[in-house]
Chain A
């Protein structure tokens, strides 16, 4: 993975830059020692590491603004960072960029039950939002598996989802407002406690922009009342095709479960070894289907889903009869990553989406790719919305295996696009999928996206080298080809 060539003149000015930063924010908030910086040299995509020029950890929004203004004036790049759990290298430092860490923004500012929202600083963890309101029966719906660690600012930047986003939506659907600091150091509020903003939906564009458009310095999140009951079904199938069809049958029956997850044989066995969740070891595919809501509704829907599973040819079926049992059903799925980590020294977690009906084709394709590359792959899958998480097993100590695993992953993502899907469902493009962007998008598509980037950050100072395979200068992107005096087209009807 090629990162943009670092600007040596900036690197040479490192000492001056650190001194200047210390004039802007408190001394202890600038980290410039090698050991100090080392703690920030990678995010969740740990195959890639880089020491940042310096780390700044501001404590107030005014300090963020001052740092941004300074960097803008001096032409210094900025990489924002929340908790560093990104799986796509979005928070990977650059040698000539300061790393702007938001870890000190860890306070919940307002819990507002009448307007049903929480206002929080961006460094607060996802789970802390739910913890702050659960005693009153509320929760925050998006639940990435990393929720004990990842920050809500990072969730906004990645538009993160979770197992419950089939019914409750991604971050973007649960976000009411943000405060944003632009690269010029301007502080802007977008949205708020009201629902519709009535102007360009810049908050919607900021969501999922991977730190390339601005720094999120505050969020207003919608909270929901916790459902009265949650129950889950654990359903085994002898082939993945029938399991995929069963998922479609549930939706066709007018039921939107709170979550609908699928695992393949390798993942089932790895998870069962790890968690003893009672998974059917012989099954080729396992569905975990969760229903939530009023008790009477959940019980009725459990019956309906059971019938759908029976006619779809399920080979085994269990329904949770207690919270304990429901949690056990999930325990295997939730530990799928560490479980796979136990059967292989390393693994790479991919994240493409396909139209669900293509799942059987995808399984065939993956099996043949697995043979081609000589690497095993375990599959966990947000089946309801077609989001795949193939885990490619490899050993980084074997020369060439990392490269082989990455090539295998790229082939899977190519297949996703070919089957009508996309490169990433929730983990973001970052550096990981950057060079695959032109599989999904034309050059014109990508240029239009970069023009939007130019409206926020004309000098490409925010998180460069991420998301876009080629950085075009904004002046070049803005150029127009106008053919003056051209004959108006004659064939179109005019009235």
Chain B
């Protein structure tokens, strides 16, 4: 393992790996190193020493931080100014059985976003710029430290969710946002998934500005302390200033008096459990995540429930499904087949209990045309495949 302190060092290590035709595994706190494809590397490039907050201007909504800074430090700094990273990055350490939430770099490299992603966007929507070393060992930057910028290609988008396969980044600049003053949640019991998705759609067709929407099976909701009759429970979060939140809740409950309301403390606690997938931590088997069109969720769930014993819940109004099911290839295959039958999206293996990744690829396979383009993009940044080769896809 080679621990570097800055991009100059990283450039030297990468140049060396190029010279010796070695493949490196880029790691920060390595909380997620068990994830992704099973690949062996010649060496580790440890970037966890890239730490520290470089610049924070709350009234400009701009934060520049080094990529190895632990998430909890970033969040604590923002909290001092009553701000946040609005994409609400999940902390999967309980689900994955690791030590901590990891670093901001790890969050970016995996484009990890939580419940507010539905209305506020993903990690990729908040990264404004970065500086990095490419797999060619060359330093480059992209974007900037201002909120509005269309100068040159938006490589920030590309770097988010590239799992360290293109470049090693150091300083990253974000758009921050004020934290909402308060939040509450409304709960609606529904007979099935289809009705639950329709209920959410009706709330989003109102001007009452819901900001997150999840669907939990009744029994799971009960175990999370939310007792509402119905096979499915729809949870709607309202955020903002106090008078507004109460007023919106009043209107939504007047429109559907079957609903119930929970206050700020219970609401925050519940959404934290949804965000961090704690509701599946104690379920046996593998955990997959699936991103689909919200309206496709009921069909997808019905198709896999027919074949397997699963536990699941939905976030993003139905557009994000977290499912626990049997280890082995057949569960993932069924998920991907159901997805293909119901439009587009992707299914990814997140918690692997029994070497499932050796029998099915954890990332959604690419079509041949997409694969060819991905491979050319990889080569544009990392022609000798020095960085995280094969982490996402074979040869990429």
Contact = CB atoms under 8 A, between A and B. Distances in A.
Interface in A250-294: 251-252, 254-256, 293-294
> Nearest 6 pairs between A and B by C-beta?
A204-B157, A297-B244, A193-B293, A192-B344, A254-B178, A198-B346
Contacts of A448: 134, 138, 140, 142, 155, 380-381
A201 interface: yes
Given A204-B124, A440-B151, A483-B19, A422 B146 contact: yes
A386 B16 contact: no
Given A172-B125, A199-B366, A449-B153, 4 more contacts: A195-B118, A198-B348, A252-B58, A382-B148
Contact of A114 (B125, B177, B198, B209): B198
Given A194-B291, A480-B136, A297 B243 contact: yes
Given A169-B125, A201-B157, A254-B178, A196 B241 contact: no
Nearest to B320: A195
Interface stretch (A324-332, A390-398, A487-495): A487-495
Contacts of A193: 293-296, 343-344
Nearest to A429: B151
Nearest to A187: B369
Nearest to B121: A173
Most chain A beta carbons < 10 A, residue from B12, B60, B122, B177: B60
Contact of A445 (B46, B62, B141, B147): B141
A467 B152 CA distance: 7
B88 to A, nearest CB: 13
Given A196-B346, A200-B377, A294-B244, A225 B206 contact: yes
Contacts of A200: 158, 161-162, 374, 377
B341 interface: no
B19 A114 contact: no
A428 interface: yes
A114 B319 contact: no
Most chain B beta carbons < 10 A, residue from A158, A172, A256, A478: A172
Interface string A463-495: 000010000000000101011111011001111
Contacts of A121: none
B311 interface: no
B158 A205 contact: yes
Contact of B181 (A202, A254, A353): A254
A169 B374 contact: no
Contacts of A494: 1-2
12 contacts: A194-B319, A201-B111, A202-B158, A248-B60, A254-B181, A300-B243, A353-B148, A354-B146, A425-B146, A448-B138, A452-B153, A493-B2
A113 interface: yes
Interface in A345-378: 353-357
Contact of A199 (B13, B138, B292, B374): B374
B122 to A, nearest CB: 6
Question: Do most interface residues of chain A lie in helix, strand or loop, or is the interface mixed?
Answer: loop
B33 interface: no
Given A194-B345, A424-B149, A445-B141, A205 B60 contact: no
Given A385-B146, A422-B144, A483-B19, A198 B161 contact: yes
A207 interface: yes
Nearest to B139: A444
Given A199-B346, A199-B364, A455-B377, A194 B243 contact: no
A429 B152 contact: yes
Contacts, number: 308
Given A297-B243, A420-B146, A480 B152 contact: no
A489 B4 CA distance: 12
Contacts of B345: 192, 194
A248 B57 CA distance: 10
A136 B364 contact: no
A314 to B, nearest CB: 17
Contacts of B155: 205, 448-449, 452
B373 A294 contact: no
A249 interface: yes
B18 interface: yes
Most chain B beta carbons < 10 A, residue from A169, A200, A228, A455: A200
Nearest to B5: A492
Contacts of A201: 111, 124, 157-158, 160-162
Most chain A beta carbons < 10 A, residue from B13, B294, B363: B294
B204 interface: yes
A155 B202 CA distance: 29
B80 interface: no
A208 interface: yes
A427 interface: yes
Given A172-B154, A195-B316, A198-B363, A386 B146 contact: yes
B379 interface: yes
A355 B62 contact: yes
Interface in A408-427: 420-427
A195 B117 contact: yes
Contact of A480 (B62, B141, B181, B384): B384
Interface string B312-337: 00001001100000000000000000
A425 B150 contact: yes
Contact of A492 (B12, B111, B122, B209): B12
Interface in B204-234: 204-209
A201 B111 CA distance: 10
B154 to A, nearest CB: 5
Nearest to A174: B121
B207 A228 contact: yes
B360 interface: no
B247 A294 contact: yes
A317 interface: no
Nearest to A198: B346
A424 B150 contact: yes
B216 to A, nearest CB: 19
Nearest to B159: A201
A488 to B, nearest CB: 5
A138 to B, nearest CB: 8
Nearest to A440: B151
Nearest to B207: A228
Contacts of A407: none
Contact of B16 (A116, A297, A444, A486): A486
Nearest to A214: B373
Contacts of B161: 196-201
B158 A427 contact: no
Nearest to B154: A208
Given A115-B295, A424-B149, A480-B384, A199 B363 contact: yes
